[in-house]
């Protein structure tokens, strides 16, 4: 787990550029520095010039950090497609849809990368307020319930972590590198899990990682404070775990029996879109305690996207809470467009892919530890078995 007090990243003394591999404890500093050093919009008269400057910045950092030569356009596209397929967040057919909708015809690498990045950012632009609204709601809920420590599960929760750090609301924020394939450093994880009040923030789905962290905390505390940990998911396929988009879509689900299935599909689609967001780094197969830069296209898109999320979060601090959390209209508009796109091919280019990704159920018993456990805020709505 890495937090806002992560140790220094290994730097090249001559250039000040981060080398790979990067220890997971240094990801926060590395990512923060990358975002802080990005070109600023105020430095450019035209938006196109600023967009090109961001892409050129990312290309420079990627070349320095990956120790690789600049790829040809075809090679960069192929590496992105391979990385998206290997992540298994989307099916191969969905990956093809993403590539077909963002790849351009430019032959020069920087121009192609700029066009590809802009097309991706334009498609996800309507979703950014939704991600920011969830982050803001999670921070406010934690303050209301006297929870001071928030643990964001990387890599899927990176947008929420970046937004939360930009909102600067005085909470203790940590980035935990834990997933089905990655386990956190025991010493660091245990020190965080000993905190008296913790909330876990993640993209969502079934909650297998949540269950593991709950069991780890129970062991660390010798069952003296055996709770389920507050768990705030962006979307949920587990009725025991809170899902933000699930609740936002509640009105549409109840509008009519005919729309309920489509509304439920849209909740899963919203989660798939978030989880498929390209990541700036990937775990090293031979050493899960460190990371390395992802492929060029993933790196560039993710840094550009996280930068926009950070900028929106900083700007939103001037908005009142009611305006920040009135997200139903935005989600409702996206849902209506999603429904129309099923019948109109001309609208499908407004989405990265057409349908939710087929899901694999967790292994038998993987969620048994969550049975009849009080896990707020979901338990606040439904209560526990003993309640």
Query: How buried is residue 196: exposed, middle or buried, by Cβ count under 10 Å (0-12/13-18/19+)?
Result: exposed
Q: Is residue 99 pLDDT above 70, yes or no?
A: yes
Structure tokens at 290: 């460190």
What span, in angstroms and rounded, lies between the C-alpha atoms of 30 and 154? 14
Average pLDDT over the chain, rounded to whole? Answer: 85
Q: Nearest CA to 88 among 351, 288, 234, 282?
A: 282
Q: What is the pLDDT of residue 225?
A: 54
Mean pLDDT, range 78-94, rounded to an integer = 95
Q: What is the pLDDT of residue 8?
A: 41
Greater confidence, 192 or 57? Answer: 57
Q: Is residue 52 pLDDT above 70, yes or no?
A: yes
What span, in angstroms and rounded, lies between the C-alpha atoms of 338 and 334? 6
Mean pLDDT, range 67-90, rounded to an integer = 94
pLDDT per residue over 232-273, tens digit each?
999 998 888 899 999 999 888 888 888 888 999 999 999 999
Mean pLDDT, range 165-186, rounded to an integer = 76
pLDDT class of 12 with cuts at 50, 70, 90: very low
Greater confidence, 70 or 379? Answer: 70
pLDDT per residue over 295-327, tens digit each?
999 999 999 999 999 999 998 765 555 555 578
Q: What is the pLDDT of residue 105?
A: 93
pLDDT class of 178 with cuts at 50, 70, 90: confident
pLDDT class of 136 with cuts at 50, 70, 90: very high
Structure tokens at 132: 């920011």
DSSP assigned state of 232: E
Which residues are paired to 281 by β-bridges?
293
Q: Is residue 224 pLDDT above 60, yes or no?
A: no
Q: Is residue 228 pLDDT above 60, yes or no?
A: no
Structure tokens at 69: 């030569």
Q: Is residue 20 pLDDT above 80, yes or no?
A: no
Q: What is the pLDDT of residue 184?
A: 59
Q: Is residue 183 pLDDT above 70, yes or no?
A: no
What's the length of the chain? Answer: 387
Q: What is the pLDDT of residue 10?
A: 42
Q: What is the pLDDT of residue 358?
A: 78
Greater confidence, 105 or 364? Answer: 105
Q: What is the pLDDT of residue 5?
A: 40
Structure tokens at 47: 């938006």
Among the ranges given (18-22, 198-202, 264-268, 383-387), the one the predictor scored with the smallest mean pLDDT:
383-387
The three-class DSSP label of residue 23 is: strand
Q: What is the pLDDT of residue 354?
A: 94
CB 238 within 8 A of CB 206: yes
Greater confidence, 247 or 212? Answer: 247
pLDDT class of 285 with cuts at 50, 70, 90: confident
Mean pLDDT, range 119-136, rounded to an integer = 95
pLDDT class of 223 with cuts at 50, 70, 90: low
Q: Is residue 123 pLDDT above 60, yes or no?
A: yes
**H helices of the chain, where?**
27-36, 47-66, 73-87, 92-102, 109-124, 128-144, 158-167, 186-193, 208-220, 244-248, 250-255, 257-275, 296-316, 321-325, 328-341, 378-382
Q: Angle formed by the axes of helices 296-316 and 128-144, to 10°?
A: 60
């Amino acid at each position: 787990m890495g937090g806002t007090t992560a140790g220094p990243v290994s730097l090249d003394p001559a250039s000040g550029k981060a080398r790979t591999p990067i220890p997971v404890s240094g990801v926060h500093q590395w990512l923060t520095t990358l975002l802080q050093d990005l070109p600023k919009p105020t430095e450019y008269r035209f938006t196109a010039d600023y967009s090109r400057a961001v892409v050129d910045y990312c290309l420079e950092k990627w070349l320095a950090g990956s120790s690789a030569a600049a790829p040809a356009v075809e090679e960069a596209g192929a590496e992105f497609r391979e990385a998206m397929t290997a992540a298994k967040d989307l099916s191969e057919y969905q990956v093809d849809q993403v590539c077909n909708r963002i790849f351009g015809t430019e032959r020069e690498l920087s121009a192609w990368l700029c066009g590809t990045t802009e097309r991706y950012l334009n498609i996800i632009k309507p979703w950014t307020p939704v991600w920011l609204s969830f982050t803001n709601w999670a921070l406010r809920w934690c303050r209301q319930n006297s929870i001071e420590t928030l643990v964001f599960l990387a890599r899927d929760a990176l947008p929420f972590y970046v937004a939360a750090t930009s909102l600067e609301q005085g909470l203790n924020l940590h980035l935990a590198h834990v997933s089905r394939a990655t386990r956190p450093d025991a010493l660091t994880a245990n020190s965080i899990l000993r905190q008296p009040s913790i909330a876990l923030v993640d993209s969502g789905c079934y909650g297998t990682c949540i269950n593991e962290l709950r069991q780890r905390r129970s062991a660390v505390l010798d069952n003296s404070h055996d709770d389920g940990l507050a768990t705030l998911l962006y979307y949920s396929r587990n009725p025991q775990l809170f899902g933000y988009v699930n609740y936002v879509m509640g009105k549409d689900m109840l509008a009519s029996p005919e729309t309920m299935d489509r509304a439920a599909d849209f909740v899963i689609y919203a989660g798939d879109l978030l989880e498929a967001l390209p990541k700036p780094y990937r775990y090293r197969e031979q050493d899960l305690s460190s990371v390395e830069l992802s492929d060029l296209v993933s790196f560039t898109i993710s840094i550009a996207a996280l930068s926009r999320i950070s900028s929106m979060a900083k700007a939103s601090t001037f908005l009142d809470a009611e305006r920040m959390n009135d997200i139903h209209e935005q989600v409702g508009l996206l849902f209506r467009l999603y429904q129309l796109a099923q019948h109109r091919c001309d609208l499908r280019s407004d989405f990265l892919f057409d349908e939710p990704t087929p899901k694999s159920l967790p292994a038998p018993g993987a969620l048994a530890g969550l049975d009849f456990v009080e896990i707020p805020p979901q338990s606040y709505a439904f209560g526990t078995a003993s309640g």
